[in-house]
């Protein structure tokens, strides 16, 4: 059967069908995990609407063609094409990603910087990272994995994330690594979500 072409990557129709089914299962499993975590944290509605754009034609087609199983299809698309259309579509529609909260500095030099992320999206971001680690790490997952991945991101030194937001996420993931999921989610619900805690001056819940 003639292979189908998607940019530089050639896959057969059979492989595309297999990728489509596996990608659907993967993003749906991830979404279910985020919903469970957000519910534990006291934000069930955000868990319910989490990552709906992944089912849109723009993002889903990328996922189907570049399904990997152990990493995001966006990373494979980026390797193939030099950029990821799926990611650019996703980050502009999902405020639980720090990239959503970037702007250009006033003055016209084009420098990007991170603005403070509202607390409720920081909590969803934490849940998203836990769920992603569980999906991609599988049986090798432990409660330190999300923190280790964030530390790797920080080690590159060019993360366009607001410093206070980064510190808040680091504190949440450190609590997860030290105390475990159940105690962390209980703390987040009782001490952050229910009192509508704002972690930085001028921020928002």
The pLDDT value recorded for residue 163 is 96
Separation CA 135–CA 97 (nearest Å): 18
Instruction: Tell how strand 9-11 and strand 4-6 pair up.
Output: antiparallel
Is residue 5 over pLDDT 50?
no
Q: In whole angstroms, give the CA distance from residue 154 to residue 166.
A: 9
pTM reported for the whole predicted model: 0.91
**pLDDT tens string 141-175:** 999 999 999 999 999 988 999 999 999 999 999 99
Task: Tell me the per-residue pLDDT of 83-131, one tens digit each, with 9 for 90 and over.
Answer: 999 999 999 999 999 999 999 888 777 788 999 999 999 999 999 999 9
Residue 7, pLDDT > 80, answer: no
Using DSSP, state whether 102 is helix, strand or coil: strand
Compute the mean pLDDT over every residue in the chain, rounded to the nearest whole number.
Answer: 93
């Amino acid at each position: 059967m003639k292979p189908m072409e998607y940019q530089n990557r050639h896959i057969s129709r059979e492989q595309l069908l297999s990728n489509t089914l596996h990608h659907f299962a993967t993003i749906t499993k991830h979404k279910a995990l985020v919903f469970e975590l957000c519910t534990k944290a006291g934000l069930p509605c955000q868990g319910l609407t989490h990552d709906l754009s992944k089912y849109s034609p723009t993002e889903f087609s990328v996922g189907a063609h570049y399904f990997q199983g152990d990493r995001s299809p966006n990373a494979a698309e980026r390797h193939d094409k030099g950029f990821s259309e799926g990611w650019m579509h996703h980050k502009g529609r999902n405020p639980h990603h720090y990239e959503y909260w970037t702007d250009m500095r006033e003055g016209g030099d084009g420098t990007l910087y991170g603005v403070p992320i509202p607390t409720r999206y920081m909590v969803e971001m934490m849940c998203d990272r836990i769920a992603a680690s569980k999906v991609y790490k599988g049986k090798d997952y432990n409660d330190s994995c999300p923190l280790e991945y964030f530390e790797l991101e920080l080690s590159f030194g060019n993360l366009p994330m607001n410093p206070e937001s980064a510190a808040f996420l680091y504190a949440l993931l450190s609590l997860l690594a030290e105390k475990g999921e159940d105690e962390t989610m209980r703390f987040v619900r009782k001490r952050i979500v229910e009192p509508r805690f704002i972690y930085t001056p001028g921020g928002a819940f």
